[in-house]
Amino acid sequence: MIVKAPQWVWRFFRYVNTWRAHRAVIKELNMLSDLELRDIGINRCDIDRLVWMKDDLEKRGSNDNK
């Protein structure tokens, strides 16, 4: 018998995967020096804001089936 997982389980897994991907990017950017960050046009204080774009913030916890 195959049991289908509730929708909230899939939403949770998608959230965790997105969170892990964003954390990996944040860690990677934080390993760069201030000079390297400046070369690509960002400041250290902008990293979180740039990684978690407005669309991501709006989708966190949403009930879409994408």
- DSSP E strands: which ranges in 1-66? none
pTM equals 0.64
Distance CA 57, CA 9 (A): 19
The whole-number pLDDT of residue 53 equals: 67
The whole-number pLDDT of residue 32 equals: 94
User: What averages of pLDDT result for each successive group of 10 residues across the chain (66 residues)?
Assistant: 82 90 91 94 87 64 51
3-state secondary structure of 15: helix
Distance CA 14, CA 16 (A): 5
Q: Locate 60 and state its tokens.
A: 């966190």
